[in-house]
């Protein structure tokens, strides 16, 4: 786990909204407490690079989560379009050739390889034709991504501990699917904040538990307190 990340960057707030106005309201509400924001497919289609530029001009960080998956040349051109934009992270959800194309043209953007979506469980993977366990698939994809030169991986907190144990600390682990209690929505492989960092997360991506809270700022502060507790004891 990287120790030199400031506490106000450990939580990446997922701007999972459909338009720039809603995104700006959330940034203005939370920017005093967290400095990192995720722009995913929904918001990118509604706000494009304009909302990314607006966030960056406020001296905040952006994780653009578009999960590039296409022929390697298209992935290469897509990642090249992020050059000089100031984006910190971008995701690729593909095979070795796609990851290699992204890494070779990244130009300052840190490429994160998506291992297995946290909305999938073992039954889903069997339906997709995978015969190995999710843990083994995550490990295999992470190992290859790091050999190719990716800066890190997107992994559920459930698999993060194995990645740290077998692959070391020289890469980033970004954990989505954070839920404070037993989960009932579409995220199936979830952990809480403390579990994510105890298992080796560098960052967590959090949307609904903050967005749906009566007091979103209080939730962020509580999460940061839990993160600090884990970091202090490690």
Residues 6+ away with beta carbon under 8 Å from 93 = 67, 68, 69, 113, 114
Query: What whole-number distance in Å separates Cα of residue 99 and Cα of residue 74?
Result: 12
DSSP state of 199: T
Helix, strand and coil in the chain, % to nearest 5: 45, 15, 35
Q: Give catalytic residue positions.
A: 67
Query: What whole-number distance in Å separates Cα of residue 84 and Cα of residue 53?
Result: 11
Residues 6+ away with beta carbon under 8 Å from 27 = 15, 37, 55, 58, 60
Query: What whole-number distance in Å separates Cα of residue 16 and Cα of residue 160?
Result: 24
> What is the tally of helices (H) and strands (E) in the chain?
11, 8
Q: Are 165 and 143 in contact (CB under 8 A)?
A: no
Query: What whole-number distance in Å separates Cα of residue 87 and Cα of residue 112?
Result: 12
């Amino acid at each position: 786990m990287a120790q030199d990340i400031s506490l106000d960057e450990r939580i990446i707030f997922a701007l999972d909204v459909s338009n720039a106005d809603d995104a700006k309201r959330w940034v203005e509400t939370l920017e005093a407490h967290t400095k990192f924001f995720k722009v995913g497919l929904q918001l990118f289609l509604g706000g494009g690079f304009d909302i990314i530029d607006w966030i960056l001009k406020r001296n905040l960080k952006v994780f653009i989560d578009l999960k590039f998956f296409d022929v390697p040349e298209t992935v290469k051109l897509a990642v090249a379009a992020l050059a000089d934009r100031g984006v910190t992270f971008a995701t690729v959800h593909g095979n070795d050739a796609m990851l290699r194309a992204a890494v070779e043209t990244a130009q300052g953007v840190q490429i994160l390889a998506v291992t297995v979506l946290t909305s999938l469980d073992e039954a889903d993977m069997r339906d997709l034709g995978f015969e190995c366990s999710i843990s083994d698939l995550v490990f295999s994809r992470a190992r290859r991504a790091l050999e190719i030169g990716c800066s890190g991986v997107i992994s559920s907190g459930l698999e993060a501990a194995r990645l740290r144990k077998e692959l070391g600390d020289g890469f980033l682990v970004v954990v989505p699917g954070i839920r404070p209690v037993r989960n009932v929505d579409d995220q199936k492989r979830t952990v809480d904040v403390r579990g994510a960092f105890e298992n080796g997360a560098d960052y967590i991506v959090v949307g609904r538990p903050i967005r749906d809270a009566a007091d979103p700022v209080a939730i962020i502060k509580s999460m940061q307190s839990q993160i600090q507790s884990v970091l202090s004891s490690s």
